[in-house]
Amino acid sequence: MKRLASLLSRATLCLLLCLALGAATAVAADQEKLNINTATVEQLAKVPGLNETLAQEIVKYREEMGDIKAMDELLEIKGMDKALLEKLQESIMIEGVSGSDCTC
């Protein structure tokens, strides 16, 4: 019984460590991704799957519409499709200004 309890607590510890490592890895990975709402055309053009034209269109969309809130919005841009969006998830993250603070 004692041995089982010891095994269980070690397993739990391992699981917790794995989760923590996974979370830290995810955070670190996120920090390496480009924020679509602050990236320049030059930065976006270097992202695998994008080119100069698409990069310009993304920035143009962003300038016209305000911060991008979800990757699906990019489907409005000619040349973007779901497969490309899927690929972009590896390199792009979304952090936007909420714009919701209004004190009027």
Partner 1 sequence: MKKLDRRNFLKLGASLVGAGALGVPGAASAMGRGPERPPLAIDRVVNGNCQFCQVRCRLKLSLSGGRIVLAEGDPEDVWTAGAMCPKGKSQLELVESPHRLLYPMVRDGSSWKRITYAQALDLVVSRIEECKAKHQKDYSGRVVLFSPLWDCREGEIAADMALSAAGFSNILTPGETCISSASNILSTFLGTPNSTTTVNELENTGLVLLWGANIAETLPPYARWIEAARAKGAKVLYLDCRTTHTSALCDRQIMLRPGTDGVLAMGVLNLLIQTGAYDADYVAAHVRGFDNLAKAVTPYTPEEVARITRLPAETVTELASAIGASKRTILWLGGSLSRYSNGMQTIRALVAMQGITNRMFGPGSGIITMEGGKPGDDEVFLEHYRAEGLPEGQNMRRVTRSMAKGEVDVLFLNSSYRRYPDCNAVKAAIEKVGFVVFRGHFMNEEAALAQLIIPTPFGLESDGSMFGAERQVFWREATLAPAGEVVADWKFYRDLGQRLAPQVYPKFESAGELYEMFRKAVPSWRGLSLARLQKAPSGVVWPSFAEDEPERIGNYFAAGKLMTADGDLELDSSVLGPLTWQEPKGSPLADKAAKDFPLIFTQGKVAWHWQQSLTNYSQLIAQFCSGRQVFVHPSTAGGYGIESGDAVKIRTELGELSATAVVTEGILPGVVFTASHFSPSAPFEGNRGQSINTVVPNNWDRVSAQFNGFGCQLVKA
φ, ψ for residue 92 (rounded to 5)? -115, 140
- Site map (CB under 8 A) of partner 1, residues 1-30, x = contact: ------------------------------
Q: Contact at 8 Å (CB) between 55 and 41?
A: yes
Q: Contact at 8 Å (CB) between 53 and 79?
A: yes
**Contacting residue, 2, 42, 48, 64, with partner 1 by CB under 8 A:** 64
Dihedral sign of CA atoms 75, 71, 37, 69 in order: positive
**103 scored as a contact of partner 1 (CB under 8 A):** yes
For residue 37, count CB atoms less than 10 angstroms from its CB and return exposed for 0-12, middle for 13-18, buried for 19 or more: middle
Q: Which stretch binds partner 1 (CB under 8 A): 10-18, 35-43, 48-56, 82-90?
A: 35-43
Residue type present at position 91: S
**Contacting residue, 66, 72, 82, 89, with partner 1 by CB under 8 A:** 66
**83 scored as a contact of partner 1 (CB under 8 A):** no
Q: Which residues bind partner 1 (CB under 8 A)?
A: 31, 35, 37-38, 63-67, 69, 95-104
